[in-house]
Amino acid sequence: MVQRISWPALTEQAIRAWLADDDVWRRGDAYRRAGRVRLPRRSAHGLRAVVYGQAVAPYRVWIRIDAQGIQRAQCTCPVGRDGRCKHVAAVLSLWLHQPGAFLPLPDWAHRLRDWPAERLRAFAVQVLTRCPEAEAWLLAHEGKDERWEETNE
């Protein structure tokens, strides 16, 4: 059964208030219309996606949402640490206009449960070798750098 997620407090007005800058909203909405939001995912705790901006590598966005609205957001772009950037706006705009585009987050613990340890290690090495962001995330977690904190479960 597909879990239906509804956040009544997540309105355009509430999003604009969260962003505190109408220009950021307009630029994020333009990114949404241009198809720059990729891999949109949802969970009971919020949203996440990848957004292609001006840089070669995409930015990762995490947004924690509850019944009261947006509680926290982060983006890996230079200005997105506080969650008030055009990339976060693009993901929120996509949610408002196309919530069905957001697939459920996979239950990775369940899916990887039966993988042998050697296969998991080999996979982790491949990911760390091919994805600089994964390497940065791992290194940051060794030092407990909150910039890379995962905000969705």
Global pTM reads: 0.76
Measured distance CA(11)–CA(96) in Å, rounded? 7
Concatenate the DSSP letters of all residues of 41-57 into one string. EEETTEEEEEE--SSSS
pLDDT digits over 46-75, tens only? 999 999 988 888 999 999 999 899 999 999
Measured distance CA(110)–CA(86) in Å, rounded? 34
pLDDT value at position 145?
52
pLDDT value at position 21?
94
SS3 25: helix
